Structure 1
């Protein structure tokens, strides 16, 4: 018993250090991928010679994320979070090299392969938020997870603003046109690899397992019983919110442009949407810890429904669309933070990492499919109709909330 009492403050100290490392890694990743995502569509259109293929850049990044989520989760389960996160960043760094080479030799297939490998870095970013829960307590799990999510805000804001300086710097060193900003990506990736590899020691996941082994098996099982129905519901919550968010967000720029909005208005709308996704995540994390996971999930989905309603009533007015996109980001944040916390605590330790990987893979895959399908729905029923098409998903998730209590 004295050993366990001494163990608690040490674990709290390790958890604080882990959160700082993961948050710094998210900032570096945001800086790295901000330029990548911003230039992806432009490079795809330039190399292919067809503007209609510009969306394949984002599609291949998302598919790469889905394809690498489970392998990285498996690696984390066997060797720890540090190696898994560093490996994801390393694969993405290889992808960046392929993209630069593809632009130099004008190879479109090589370009798409590079974007697919870059998706591994996004998979590592998603896994980082779960790494924040390895040493967390039930009372702080939502807050700790949300702090890592919030750190994404800094990188997401800084990254796209480095495109101009990066292009000028790339021209000085003789890089192919439009690839200069990837210099920042390379630096960010290398820094992230070193940070995760050296900073996550002791590894939070492996440390949590060692601590569990020092306690009696009965006590551990009683503290962390497996609740498969609740875990499945948590995955449905996260995947559903992501599908709704991506489907609407992906079609917003083209809708606004068709209604006379300037590129400045489009950029402002998307920036405010991203701020809604990440900036208030600590608030939703605190609510998830204080109110409970399920009430916060309901709050998130109610906000998503409100977003759909605002779009349905004001789709032709860019101001109302901006309000709706902010609500869309806030709803996504509340649902995914609370859902990820519920998934973690509803899963027995031996099943937790595997389920987290499945969650990220399904989340990324549905996001890619939703973005593709949304284009057809937009052409069929318009932007207001697209928003209303998300309501059945929202109603389904809220109706199945009793599963989350089991």
Structure 2
């Protein structure tokens, strides 16, 4: 038996070299998918508002594609658990491309029902964009996982910032293609998602999750059973609290972020701002969601995920207060509020992801991560749907203040788990 161990170990690629390649491929796919992600955020609510002639249902598109991302998250998690990250992520982006094509068809046919179905399918791209962060952490060493996650997240910035600011040229493209003006961004979205799927299907080799499992099995074969069992027990004892808190952090930050973000373009549109202006604000918001990721990853690895989760709640509160106080005609103040909103979300996502990755064993990691992202997507769907209803019943400032107040729930949650720990 001992003679076969060296050959098994040598057949496994070097994890450090594989991690560098995997991060490069994930960065390329995230740049593309960031552009696809931004389209629905920027004009999805406006397309629905034009079709329905009502602001009260303007939050429905966000709710639908976040609900669609919930189904996609569990599907991608199960595919990744069984076959690896590569087929799971590629399938998700391909579904996002199909959803984009459906939105374009719905806009041409002026069909709200088809629009809602297509937006549900389009949500798979959102789920995949988020689940890619887990692939970046599969092979990362302990103490460097948050930075690996942040590397994947920051790549979304380039496409995410560029996407909304392509609203004007996308409208020109739509005119040439003979489709409604607002649907032009979904042409870009579909192409971006399809290219991201192709990059992952062809280049994400070796598969990070499958390689991480192989490395773990090889290490267990070389280590005595006693110490290995001790490590597993230690991870399990702290795992439950970390999983619950990590999920709660990401759920709350997603709920608050989606609710305020969804209605900001509608709020600006009602105050006479152009699609280009709302696209600029959303572009700044998405940039703040992803661009600070390297700094956030370093802070989490250095100071701990719980402390950064607290910072997330405080930042989201500041965003809600500023969004509520900003005059409707002030693009600058709304952009600043949305930047803080994105930054608070980033703090929450990176810290929550680090908690999950550190505490969930490889044997069940992808499935558990998919289920947690379902909860995150449901929170986003709830925020998107409730935002339109709340603004119709009250006002955008009330929505922003409510979101800011909800984010403060992170502070007692972190304190409670810290005491039990």
Q: Structure 2 length normalisation: TM-score?
A: 0.84
1:62-211 aligned within 5 A: 62-169=66-173, 172=176, 174=177, 176-178=179-181, 179-211=183-215
Tell me the CA shift for residue 86 of structure 1: 0.8
Match of 1:374 in 2: 387
Q: Deviations over 1:29-66 (max 9, x none)?
A: 122343444443344345x4534455433332111111
1:331 counterpart (320, 331, 344): 344
Q: Within 5 A, what are the aligned runs for 1:5-404?
A: 10-46=14-50, 48=51, 50-52=53-55, 53-169=57-173, 172=176, 174=177, 176-178=179-181, 179-216=183-220, 219-223=227-231, 225-226=235-236, 227-255=239-267, 266-311=278-323, 318=330, 320-378=333-391, 382-390=395-403, 393-401=406-414, 402-403=416-417
C-alpha distance in 1, partners of 2:47/2:267? 23
What secondary structure sits across from 1:138 in the alignment?
coil
- CA RMSD between the two structures: 3.1
Contact 1:35 1:162 in 2 (8 A): no
Q: Distance in 1 between matches of 2:417 and 2:78?
A: 27
Query: Structure 1 residues 266, 200: CA separation in 2 closer, same or farther (over 3 Å shift)?
Result: closer
C-alpha spacing 1:13/1:7, structure 2 compared with 1 (3 Å): farther
Checking the alignment, whether the CA contact within 8 Å between 1:343 and 1:356 is kept in structure 2 is yes
8 A Cα contact 1:234 1:343, kept in partner: yes
Residue by residue over 1:273-292, the C-alpha shift from the partner in whole angstroms, topping out at 9 and shown as x without a partner, is: 22221111110011001111
CA distance, structure 2, for counterparts of residue 167 and residue 309 of structure 1: 34
* Contact residue 247 and residue 352 of structure 2 kept, 8 A: yes
Matched-pair contact (CA < 8 Å) for 2:324–2:400:
yes
Cα offset, 1:396, TM superposition: 2.7
Does the 8 A contact of 1:164 with 1:181 survive in 2?
no
Aligned length: 404
> What do residues 126-167 of structure 1 show as CA deviations (whole Å, max 9, x unaligned)?
110111111111121001101111111101122233344445
Where structure 2 has 5 or more consecutive residues not aligned to the other structure, the ranges are none
Q: Which structure carries more relative contact order (alpha carbon 8 Å, separation 6+)?
A: 2
SS at match of 2:206: coil
The two structures have a TM-score, normalised by structure 1, of 0.87
